[in-house]
Structure 1
């Protein structure tokens, strides 16, 4: 019911790899949902989950899904591991097995975010686990201006930005829940 979303600043959707209807047919249902939400002027946000490599989701052509969905996503917030699993499985496997260093360098982060921005996302936030977060925004002013209510007015100085931030030290009270 899109009326429940009307007037919101942000619509956040999470974990399509564990929702079969959202990844079938190259993600057509998810793309249509996000397109409809964006048509209301609401900023769209998408978080991912690691597909189980032994499930149907693990054999999906995620590059095709993302190419179909990301033009309708303003904030894309996957982990680097999830993204490599989806877009560069040989590198992902090599990093997991220890053949390649698991520590991401700036060249890898830039290349991965380049690909995601080219697929249509306005802002890419790659979660780096205990290493923090890498954030990159599109250099395309028109695309950033179309990013919905949360970007109105367009934040000054955020066009074509690239940032890395470390994790904060926190006292753990519990570990139940996403994230």
Structure 2
């Protein structure tokens, strides 16, 4: 498929579409057809306590304000990083991560379109005992619709939010607020993230 080159002013596009960004994710794609990339803009506040596993690297470019990205490292530890305004941040493929965006923040996220053999996953870890509480795997066709649907389904069911291992009920995330001092710290903050068990 041949596609004509596309150019747009990102700041103007954000201004023209600002009212279309809705929680819990607050994301919009710039164009949906013809590109090998998913290029989306995300607005804070978002309301998330899920983790995303993507088969593609994700490149975050933080346009306005600072955000926190929680992730689970290869040793199973929960970590956090602050992505400051103007920073570019790479989240490697297959690392469970949760971008947390406070009010007034804007960021761009770039990732590769998936093949049919590359499912995405939205999952939750029990905050009490750390086991995988619930997970949804799906072929990603529309990132705006499918991620929100997975989160809404989980949030709407106390059964899905109840840990089979320890019986704790996972909370429904409210709008994210950056912890005091987080923007000044940056980098890794082991154990300081909101997802630690």
Structure in which a larger fraction of residues adopt helix = 1
Q: TM-score, normalised by structure 2?
A: 0.27
Q: Which has the higher contact order (CA 8 A, sep 6+)?
A: 2
Structure in which a larger fraction of residues adopt strand = 2
